[in-house]
Amino acid sequence: MDACLRLLPNLLAYYEHAVIVLDALDECPKESRGLILSDLLSILKNSKRPVKAFISSRHSLEIEDRLRKFPNVSIQAEDNAEDIENYVKSTLTRRIEDQELLRGRVSTELRQRIEEVLQREAHGM
């Protein structure tokens, strides 16, 4: 990891615009998370060219506090509720029509129950 973090600023110099994506940062061990954030912040501050960072994480005050000094947009799980509802409905419709779910034999009540459970258990994902 150290070698990658040392190499990253040099690689970014080759691109006019760059985006660094960190997925599930909250799942990293706390010690690694702190190092990753420190190195990322250093890269963002010191890059000679524009660099953006996209970070996905469950709610974490530690991560929020470290990023507070930078312009950022926070998206909560609730912000995705309508998108999730549309996705669940369209995918369920397609699966039923293509007879991939119970050979297409899904009652209205069962369909409503499936939609309800999937949307409730999605937790914004």
Distance CA 52, CA 58 (A): 20
pLDDT at 76 over 80: no
What is the reported pLDDT for 95? 96
What is the reported pLDDT for 78? 75
Global pTM reads: 0.62
pLDDT digits (tens, 9 = 90+) for 89-115: 999 999 999 999 999 999 999 999 999
Q: For 12-16, 42-46, 77-81, 109-113, which range has the lowest pLDDT when averaged over its residues?
A: 77-81
Question: What phi and psi values does residue 51 have, to the nearest 5 degrees?
Answer: -130, 130
